[in-house]
């Protein structure tokens, strides 16, 4: 019932994730952070079974940090996505697979902004925009309609708001708040949460 949304611009990646933590029909938390900072210019957004989500993300982040300690430099977004996909594929063929869906976003000088879509079956693809979860069924057409090659951060944030509006309007499950992060050449920055109340406010002139 969780949702991830990702948009890649010319020099940034924007990720949004709902902040609900539910078990069966009960909401346990409404401030869960599903967007994890892996390094100064790399972020991973993960949804799935709560234990799998936390354990897999920590495993990937600690191993990427270990790689930096051993080699003296960080993995770029593309390499980090390949490393994540390989581990997900290896565990898929074991008795303890991880049931998680992932968006890996980052920026480096060589390749610029990168957004990678990875699902629980270890399929991986670099994309311009992507969405995971039931909410993604309502967002995909909005992303396709409004995304363009020269999109700005303000435009991307407005697209996120359009997507969240559609999710809150049409999805049976209540997802009242989405956390948003943007990754660019200046590092990682958290933007204002998208909530039902913020969507009711008129846009700034």
Domain ranges of the chain: 3-200
What pLDDT is stored for residue 202 in this prediction? 59
What pLDDT is stored for residue 114 in this prediction? 95
Cα 6 from chain centroid? 6
Q: Please check the confidence at residue 201 and state whether its pLDDT lies above 80.
A: no
What pLDDT is stored for residue 133 in this prediction? 92
Instruction: For residue range 117-137, list pLDDT tens digits in order.
Output: 999 999 999 999 999 999 999
Q: Give the Cα-Cα-Cα angle 204, 188, 174 (nearest 5 degrees).
A: 60
Which of 139, 188, 118 is CA-nearest to residue 18?
Answer: 139
Q: Is 117 helix (H, G, I), strand (E, B) or coil?
A: strand
What pLDDT is stored for residue 205 in this prediction? 44
The hierarchical CATH code for the domain 3-200 is 3.60.20.10
Locus of tokens 């990875």:
118
What pLDDT is stored for residue 24 in this prediction? 77
Q: Give the Cα-Cα-Cα angle 84, 90, 95 (nearest 5 degrees).
A: 130
Cα 29 from chain centroid? 19
What pLDDT is stored for residue 203 in this prediction? 56
Instruction: For residue range 95-104, list pLDDT tens digits in order.
Output: 999 999 999 9
Instruction: For residue range 2-33, list pLDDT tens digits in order.
Output: 999 999 999 999 999 999 888 877 888 888 99
Instruction: For residue range 53-62, list pLDDT tens digits in order.
Output: 999 999 999 9
Cα 201 from chain centroid? 25
Q: Give the Cα-Cα-Cα angle 164, 144, 81 (nearest 5 degrees).
A: 85
Instruction: For residue range 165-196, list pLDDT tens digits in order.
Output: 999 998 888 788 999 999 999 999 999 999 87
Which of 15, 18, 21 is CA-nearest to residue 3?
Answer: 18
């Amino acid at each position: 019932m969780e949702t991830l949304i990702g948009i890649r611009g010319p020099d940034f990646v924007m990720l949004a994730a709902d902040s609900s933590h539910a078990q069966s029909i009960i909401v346990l938390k409404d401030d869960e952070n599903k967007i994890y900072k892996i390094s100064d210019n790399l972020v991973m957004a993960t949804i799935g079974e709560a234990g799998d989500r936390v354990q897999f993300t920590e495993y990937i982040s600690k191993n990427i940090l270990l790689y930096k300690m051993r080699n003296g430099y960080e993995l770029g977004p593309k390499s980090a996505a390949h490393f994540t996909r390989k581990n997900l594929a290896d565990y898929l063929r074991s008795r303890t697979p991880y049931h998680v869906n992932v968006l890996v976003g980052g920026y480096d000088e060589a390749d610029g902004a990168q957004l990678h879509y990875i699902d629980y079956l270890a399929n991986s693809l670099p994309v311009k925009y992507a969405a995971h979860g039931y909410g993604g069924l309502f967002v995909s057409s909005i992303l396709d309609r409004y995304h363009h090659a020269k999109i700005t951060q303000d435009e991307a944030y407005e697209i996120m708001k359009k997507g969240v509006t559609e999710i809150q309007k049409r999805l049976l499950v209540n997802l009242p708040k989405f956390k948003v992060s943007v990754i660019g050449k200046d590092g990682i920055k958290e933007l204002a949460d998208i909530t039902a109340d913020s969507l009711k406010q008129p846009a700034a002139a």
